[in-house]
Amino acid sequence: MGLSPNPFHIFLSGGAGTGKSRLIKAIYHQVSRTLQTSGQDPDHPCIKLTAPTGCAAFNIGGSTIHSALKLPVKGGYYSLRGNPSMLATFQSKYENLLILVIDEVSMLGRKAFAHVHKRLQEIKNVEGTDKIFGGVCVLAVGDMFQIPPVRECRIYDTSPSHNLDEMGVLLSNLWTNNFQFHELKIIMRQKDDLPFAATLNRLRLAEHTAEDIETLKARVIKGSDYPSEALHIFSIRRNVNDHNEQMLHNLDHQTHRTVKSFTHIPPSVTSFDVNSKVADLPHTLELAPHARVMLIKNLDVNDGLVNGATGLLLDLIYNQNAKPPSLPKCVIVRFDDPSSGLLTQQASTISLNNYPQGTPIYPIEVQEHVGRSETSPQITRIQLPLVLCFACTIHKIQGATLKNVVMSCSNIRQPGMMYVACSRVTTLSGLHLLDFKPESIKASASTKEEMTRLRTEMKLQTFYDQLEKDPTCLRVLLFNIRSVQNKENHINSDPYLGSVDIMILTETWKKNKTDINVPQFHYQYHSVRTENRGGGVSVLSQTPMIPIQMQVSSDVCDAIVLQYKRDSAKINIIAVYRPPSCTFEKFMRWLTKILTSINRDIPTLIAGDFNINLLETSAAYRGLHVFMNHIHFKQVINTATHQLGGLLDHLWINSGVTVSQQMLARSPYSDHFQIFADLQL
C-alpha cells in the first residue's frame, strides 16, 4: 500500500498450551499472503520464523535462531564483516525481511538477544544507528514463567553484573524500553480438561490452592499400575542416566550393542580424556533395538530431525565385516512424530521395507577446540548423534506436547520446573508423579515483577482495545465480504464483530434470501441476484428494522433501505453495491431515485461499495462529490479500504448524523477492509 510504519517490537505471552504456536503459524500465513509480492523469491522471505532450539523451530515450521542468523551456539559474538562473502549472502537472503518471529524467547538469554540485534544491524547495514534490530519488526513469543535460559541471565535482567557482553561492551536495554506486551489467556492444549487447565494457570504463578495440592497428590504413583513405558522426567542428569541404564538393562541382553566413536586427537594435545564429550557427542554409547532414543543434534530442521526428537530404535545396520563396538553404518529410528524424517526416508539408499516409518540416522563428524581460542587444536569425533531417552531432563521437554509423563519431583529447586513438567500433558490423567512435594511448586519473583511491569507499562493497544463502545452509540459495520458462502464460521469466530449492532455486507453473491447463519443477528434483510454472478447486499441487525420499499430497478445496482429506531431516535440506513459494469450516469440516476423518495430530514447513512475510488480524482470522483455536497452529505472515510490501496467502500452521512469514531481492520477472508463506525443517536 506504499506505507512505511515504524517497526513494531511485541512480546506475545501466555501460559503453556494457550495456542501461541498456532497463532505464530496463522500470522506467518497472513503476513506472507499480504506482504509477499508476486514473483518474489521464497528464499528471500518477508517474515522469518525462528526459535532457540531445533524442537521449538520444527514445531512452528521455522529455523533455529542461531542457524538463521549465523549466531554462535556457544562462545562470543563474531561479526560477519570479516567474511564479506558470507555477509553479502545474508544481506541478499534477508533483503526483503520485515518481520522476525522468535518463539520460546524465554529460552534466549540477554546476551544472545543482543547478538540478534547486532546481526540484524549488520545484515541491514545500519550499524552504529539507533535502528534496533536493524529496523526489522520483532515478534517475541513465549512464557517467562517457564524455565530460564541455561547458563545465561533472563532476557529482562538489568542487574549490573549482567550489563556487559563477552567483550566488556555495555549491552543496550533492548527489552525493557522497546517491547510492548500482549497476553493469551485461554488454554487450548488442555481445553478438554478445563479443571486441569485452571490448576496449571495457578501452578504457573505458584498461587495454587489446597484443592490443587490434593489434585496433584492424587496423581502420585502407587504400586506398578502406571504407564512405565511413558517418558520419565527428572530435574538432574544423574537420575536420567540411572533410569536409562535400568531400562536398557531390562531389554534382551543379547541385543545390546556398544558403539564407540572414532576420535582424532592431535599429537599436540596430551591431556585430553577420550571418554570426554566432544561437541556434546559421547565417546561410547550403549544401545539396543527397542530402546528409546533422542537426537542430540539438529540434522535437518525442515525434516524434523532436530535436537530433542524422540523415537524407538529399530535396528543397528553395520557395513560388511564390521561389528560392535565399531561404528554402525547407520541406525533405524521410528520417531514419535510421524512427520519427522519423511524426507530422509524418501531419499534413503537403504531398504526400509522391514522398518515401517523407520528413518536412517548416520554417524556425524564434529570438531571442538581444546581451550577457548579459535586457533587452538581441534578434537574431531565421529559418532551417532543420539542418546538413550527412556528419561530426560525437564529442560529437554520444554515446548513438547505429550499424552503421558512420569514426573519425579525430587531435587526440583528452580522456579518454573514443576509448571513446565505438568503442562506438557493434555489431560490430568496423563500426569503421573513420583516423590511429590508441594514445595516443588515455585515461580520466579523477578518474573512476576517483570510481568506486572509489562501489563501496566507496556500493554499493547490492539485494534480490539479501540473497539470499546459507548453503549449510547449505534455501531455499524460495512464490509465487502466477497461471497458470504462458506464464511459463516469466519464471521461467528471474528472477535471484532461481537460489538456490532448492524452489519452491512456487500458482494454477498447470494442467490436467495435465506438467512446467513450468524445467530446473534436475528433480523436479516437481503437483496440478491438470481441470474448473474456476484453482487448482492445483506443487512444484519440485532434488533428489528423497518424496511422502506423503493421503486428502483435491482438490475442496475443492489440496495436495501431500512429505518432503525431506538427510543425516540431514528436513522435511515441505505446499503448499496454498484458493480463495475454499471455506468456512472446510470448509477447516479438510480441513486437519485432512492434519495428523492425518502425523508432526508431524518438522519441518514449511505454505506456500500461504490466501486469509485475516492483517492483518485476521476470524472466519477468529481461527479459524486458534487452531487453529495449538493444534497448535504459528506464522506466519513478518507483512507484506503482495499488491500491494493483504493477507497472503494464509502460511508456518506447527512448533517443529522454524528460519527464519534471510525476504524478500519484488515480481514483474513476478504481483500476489502472491515469498516466500523459509531453513530451517535
- Predicted pLDDT of residue 152: 82
* 135 Cα distance to chain centroid: 21
- Last residue in a domain, options 435, 460, 485: 460
Instruction: State the pLDDT confidence band at 386, using cuts at 50, 70 and 90.
Output: very high
- Last residue in a domain, options 390, 410, 444: 390
Assign residue 21 the CATH number of its domain: 3.40.50
Largest CA distance in the chain: 101
Task: Domain of residue 287: give its range.
Answer: 238-263+275-390
DSSP 668: T
Let me know if 258 is exposed, middle or buried by CB neighbors in 10 A (0-12, 13-18, 19+).
exposed
Q: Is residue 672 part of a domain?
A: yes
316-364 pLDDT, tens per residue?
Answer: 999 988 888 899 999 999 999 899 999 999 999 999 999 999 999 999 9
114-134 pLDDT, tens per residue?
Answer: 999 999 999 999 998 889 999
Same domain assignment for residues 193 and 180: no
Q: What is d(CA 609, CA 221) in angstroms, rounded to the nearest whole number?
A: 65
| Strand 649-654 to 633-635 pairing | antiparallel
Instruction: State the pLDDT confidence band at 163, using cuts at 50, 70 and 90.
Output: low
- Provide CB contacts within 8 A for 518, sequence distance 6+: 488, 491, 492, 503, 540
Same domain assignment for residues 470 and 456: no
Q: Is residue 270 part of a domain?
A: no
Q: Which of 121-125, 138-142, 316-320, 552-556 has the lowest mean pLDDT?
A: 552-556
Instruction: State the pLDDT confidence band at 414, using cuts at 50, 70 and 90.
Output: confident
251-292 pLDDT, tens per residue?
Answer: 988 888 999 999 999 998 888 889 999 988 999 999 999 999
DSSP 7: P
- Last residue in a domain, options 360, 390, 420: 390
Q: Is residue 39 over pLDDT 70?
A: no
Same domain assignment for residues 25 and 145: yes
Q: Which residues are registered as beta bridge partners of 100?
A: 48, 138
Q: What is d(CA 421, CA 433) in angstroms, rounded to the nearest whole number?
A: 10
Same domain assignment for residues 195 and 174: no
Q: Is residue 397 part of a domain?
A: no
Same domain assignment for residues 489 and 412: no
Q: What is d(CA 657, CA 651) in angstroms, rounded to the nearest whole number?
A: 11
Q: Is residue 490 over pLDDT 50?
A: yes
Q: Answer for the pair 105, 93: CB distance below 8 angstroms, yes or no.
A: no
636-675 pLDDT, tens per residue?
Answer: 999 999 988 899 999 999 989 999 989 998 888 899 999 9
580-598 pLDDT, tens per residue?
Answer: 999 999 999 999 999 988 9
Quickly count helices (H) and strands (E) in the chain.
Answer: 16, 32
Same domain assignment for residues 100 and 127: yes
Instruction: State the pLDDT confidence band at 553, using cuts at 50, 70 and 90.
Output: low
- Predicted pLDDT of residue 554: 67
Q: Which of 17-21, 188-192, 213-217, 315-319 has the lowest mean pLDDT?
A: 188-192
Q: What is d(CA 132, CA 40) in angstroms, rounded to the nearest whole number?
A: 26
- Please name the amino acid found at residue 537: V
- Predicted pLDDT of residue 398: 77
Query: What is the SS3 string spanning 404-453?
Result: CEEEECCCCCCCCHHHHHHCCECCHHHEEEECCCHHHCCCCHHHHHHHHH
Q: Which residue has the higher pLDDT, 228 or 584?
A: 584
- Provide CB contacts within 8 A for 626, sequence distance 6+: none
Same domain assignment for residues 550 and 622: yes
Same domain assignment for residues 52 and 97: yes
Helix (H) or strand (E) holding 30: helix 20-35
Q: What is d(CA 595, CA 459) in angstroms, rounded to the nearest whole number?
A: 46
Arithmetic mean of pLDDT, 387-397: 90
Same domain assignment for residues 447 and 470: no
Same domain assignment for residues 470 and 454: no
Q: What is d(CA 527, CA 537) in angstroms, rounded to the nearest whole number?
A: 5
Q: Is residue 386 part of a domain?
A: yes
Q: Is residue 193 over pLDDT 90?
A: no
Q: Is residue 4 part of a domain?
A: no
- Predicted pLDDT of residue 61: 87
Instruction: Quote the mean pLDDT of the chain.
Output: 89
Q: Is residue 170 over pLDDT 50?
A: no
Residues belonging to the chain:
681
Instruction: Identify which of 266, 321, 318, 263 has the alpha carbon closest to the alpha carbon of residue 287.
Output: 318
- Provide CB contacts within 8 A for 600, sequence distance 6+: 572, 631, 654
Grid cell at residue 319: 557395513
Grid cell at residue 411: 531435587
- Provide CB contacts within 8 A for 539, sequence distance 6+: 502, 503, 504, 505, 524, 525, 526, 545, 560, 562, 573, 575
Per the confidence metrics, is the pTM higher than 0.75?
no
Q: Is residue 164 over pLDDT 60?
A: no
Q: What separation in angstroms does the CA of 220 have from each of 379, 407, 432?
A: 46, 9, 6
Q: Which residues are registered as beta bridge partners of 359?
A: 333
- Count of domains in the chain? 4
Let me know if 165 is exposed, middle or buried by CB neighbors in 10 A (0-12, 13-18, 19+).
middle
Same domain assignment for residues 555 and 669: yes
Same domain assignment for residues 379 and 292: yes
The torsion angles phi and psi of 386, rounded to 5 degrees, stand at -150, 165
Q: Is residue 60 part of a domain?
A: yes
Instruction: State the pLDDT confidence band at 551, using cuts at 50, 70 and 90.
Output: low
Q: Is residue 162 over pLDDT 60?
A: no
Q: What is d(CA 624, CA 627) in angstroms, rounded to the nearest whole number?
A: 5
- Predicted pLDDT of residue 191: 61
Q: Is residue 1 over pLDDT 70?
A: no
